[in-house]
Amino acid sequence: MRKMEGIECLRRKQVITSESVNIGHPDKTCDVIADSFLDEALRQDPNAQMAVECAIKDDLLMIYGEATTTAKIDYQKIARGVLKDIGYTNEFQVVEKISKQSPEINKAVVKKDELTANDQGIVYGYATNETPEYMPLPIIMAHKLMKRYEEFRHGHIGSNESLIPGPASRWFYADAKSQVSIEYDGNNPIAVHTILVSVSHSPSISCSSIYNLVQKNVVDTVLPEYPQLDTKNTKIIINPSGAFTIWGSFSDSGCVGRKIVVDTYGGVGRVGGGCFSSKNATKVDRSGAYYARYVAKNIVANKMADKCEVSVSYAIGLSDPLKLNIETFGTHKVPAEKIYQYVEQNFDFSPSNIIRELDLLKPIYKQTACFGHFGREGFPWEFIKK
């Protein structure tokens, strides 16, 4: 019997890992550029129908997709501005291939009295009470590490770091990744198992300086936010591959929508079939996923469950979703029928209502593209209904 109890104890413990990437990662660079296009369209034309994406490799940037809008958009100027802000100093060759949205799709979506779903799609929203953000801890910590790294590299290195004085951006570049592994006992996070950070950098800085500076200015500023977690055996790994001086598009290719797990729940909650960036609010891949998160968060925040996943499916040209499913993983505090009743009485999943209730015709999307679309204050899908 004692042996079986030991097996059960081991079974209850698990390690969950999530990753985040910074703006200089080529996939994330493309997401930011695409959402910059969308914001410019919405500034001029709130009813713009946009799905203009991009791909990047070396000094080549390809801009392509569909746009039906009265907005006048200088795609190349916007893209070059983002690339310059990231830290690229070279000139890029830019290729554009943009057409209007299919008139058949437009006719199905834009109707006299309402907007309907732009395409078929399955979307998911997730929430958990394990963090104040109602997000899984591994992805929240991974995003915080990347956000802190971005703040660090735009700051100044203190005088005690005399070996590499001046702006940190001279020594550290925008391409970076983090990965966080958290140990759980059942549903409860109990320890930080591993923190992994990889950052691009100048050839003039030593590996030991990179390790010390990133640990001091990034890792050691995030870990104290979680005093409840055991960190005495935490593994901290920084730049395990060694040199990372070739970065961004010259190290790897990039494309919009290849970081949907980073953008959502870090692999804990499920994700739908489509990405978010580049798409305006009639695309339910984006707006439907935002609303599903909104509903799941409200269920958990109002103490109906400790964890919740909301899944919804849509069909092109139809307003009402085909199905709604709510999963609480056995953590519900009230009967399931009361949760469904609460959702039915307080939420409307039609695209027209989602756009209206969450105010999604504003140019707010560039700021969503890096550090996750969920768990961040200020976005309307993060509000809690009392």
35, 373 Cβ separation under 8 angstroms: no
322, 313 Cβ separation under 8 angstroms: yes
Segment-wise mean pLDDT, segments of 10 residues, the chain, 386 residues: 46 89 98 98 96 97 96 98 97 96 67 71 96 98 97 73 68 97 96 98 94 95 96 97 96 97 96 92 94 98 98 90 95 96 96 95 97 96 93
Count of residues for the chain? 386
Query: CB within 8 A of 331, min separation 6: which ones?
Result: 187, 305, 306, 307, 308
322, 374 Cβ separation under 8 angstroms: no
Tokens 């006299």 belong to residue: 112
- What CA–CA distance (Å, rounded) separates 183 from 179? 14
What would you measure as the largest C-alpha separation in the chain, in angstroms? 73
Residue 380, φ and ψ in degrees, nearest 5? -65, -25
Six-digit token pair at 54? 């991009």
Predicted pLDDT at 157: 64
Predicted pLDDT at 2: 43
Query: CB within 8 A of 345, min separation 6: which ones?
Result: none
- DSSP single-letter state for residue 380: G
Query: CB within 8 A of 255, min separation 6: which ones?
Result: 26, 27, 30, 53, 54, 55, 56
Six-digit token pair at 92? 């890029």
